[in-house]
Amino acid sequence: MASSKTEKAQAHTVSPEDEPSAEWGWHGSFPIGMRVGGWFTAAAMFFYLIGNHTGRTEDLWLIGTGVGLVILLVIDQVRRRTSWRR
């Protein structure tokens, strides 16, 4: 005979052997901290342009890296904002 109570099945279970942090309750990332760190790093790339170097190769790499980070951060922001609509 089946019981009248229904048991909730856990949708996402993580084995503590695979990921030890699940044992004490934390499993995730720092999304806000990662975004803040990304913007800080992108700004630092542009601040590195101020200096006493004479070659332009360094400038091109700093600008390219900074622009690449900004593009990735904007894409991440758009994906986070519109991911629930799809």
Whole-angstrom Cα distance, residue 1 to residue 15?
32
Residue 72 located in a structural domain: yes
Spell out the alpha helix ranges (H) of the chain.
31-47, 57-82
pLDDT tens digits for range 27-81:
667 788 899 999 999 999 999 999 888 889 999 999 999 999 999 999 999 888 8
Residue 1 located in a structural domain: no
The HSE-up count of residue 46 (CA atoms within 13 Å, CB side) is 10
Q: Which domain holds residue 74?
A: 30-85
Residue 23 located in a structural domain: no
Residue 68 located in a structural domain: yes
pTM over 0.85: no
Phi first, then psi, for residue 19 (nearest 5°) are -135, 95
Residue 48 located in a structural domain: yes
Structurally, how many domains does the chain consist of?
1
